């Protein structure tokens, strides 16, 4: 089941990269609120996103909830969706470190989602699917995790 989900996820990423053309981003850096929810606890906290070039960005989040703190950094590839101004797709992933009073856990988090930048105001909203693969002695995969973001843009 886990292999089938991962295969489906990476096949979807490949389809996205081949279907949509990449164009320049509308902003350089943004800060905002990130919410990680789904199977298990809900986490929320500040986020920052900075574009490295017109197609790639680094997104960092510090999330709090369920007596834990999560530090994560995601590499993201971005592209426009034809015929819908302001809507872009993104895909990527990165490491996630969950810190708790009894120890820490390392996760690998792939992600794929959509970001909508509002016209006339420097604000965007995003929604993504971010399954989590636990890296440790008893590896585990959680496919039911999602992200919701609200960001203010700087040029």
Q: Supply 124's token pair.
A: 């965007």
Q: How many domains, the chain?
A: 1
Q: Supply 56's token pair.
A: 């790639």
* Whether pLDDT at 18 is above 60: no
**Mean pLDDT along residues 57-72:** 97
Specify the CATH number for the domain of residue 100: 2.40.160.20
> pLDDT-derived band of residue 37, with 50, 70 and 90 as boundaries?
very high
Give the residue from 86, 88, 80, 30 showing the smallest Cα distance to 60: 30
User: What pLDDT was estimated at residue 25?
Assistant: 58
Task: Name the phi and psi angles at 21, rounded to 5.
Answer: -85, 150
Indicate the Cα dihedral angle 99, 38, 95, 151, nearest 10°. -100
Rounded to whole angstroms, how far apart are CA atoms 70 and 62? Answer: 6
User: What pLDDT was estimated at residue 4?
Assistant: 52
* Whether pLDDT at 21 is above 90: no
> pLDDT-derived band of residue 20, with 50, 70 and 90 as boundaries?
very low
User: What pLDDT was estimated at residue 13?
Assistant: 45
pLDDT > 70 fraction of the chain, expressed in percent and rounded = 84
Q: HSE of 9 in the Cβ direction (CA atoms, 13 Å)?
A: 23
Rounded to whole angstroms, how far apart are CA atoms 139 and 93? Answer: 18
**Mean pLDDT along residues 69-76:** 98
Residue span of the structural domain in which 100 resides = 2-154
Please list, in sequence order, all residues whose beta carbon lies within 8 angstroms of the beta carbon of residue 18, skipping any fewer than 6 positions away.
none
Task: Name the phi and psi angles at 82, rounded to 5.
Answer: -55, 145
In terms of Cβ atoms closer than 10 Å to its own Cβ (0-12, 13-18, 19+), residue 45 is middle
């Amino acid at each position: 089941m886990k292999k089938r989900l991962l295969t489906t996820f990476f096949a979807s990423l490949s389809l996205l990269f081949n279907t949509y053309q990449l164009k320049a981003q509308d902003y350089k850096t943004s800060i905002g609120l990130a919410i990680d929810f789904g199977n298990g606890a809900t986490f929320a906290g500040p986020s920052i996103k900075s574009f490295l070039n017109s197609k790639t960005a680094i997104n960092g989040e510090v999330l709090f909830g369920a007596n834990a703190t999560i530090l994560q950094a995601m590499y993201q590839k971005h592209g426009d969706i034809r015929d819908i101004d302001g809507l872009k797709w993104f895909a990527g992933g990165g490491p996630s470190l969950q810190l708790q009073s009894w120890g820490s856990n390392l996760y690998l988090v792939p992600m794929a989602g959509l970001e909508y930048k509002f016209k006339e105001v420097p604000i965007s909203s995003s929604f993504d699917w971010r399954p989590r693969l636990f890296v440790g002695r008893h590896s585990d995969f959680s496919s039911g995790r999602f992200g919701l973001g609200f960001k203010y843009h700087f040029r």
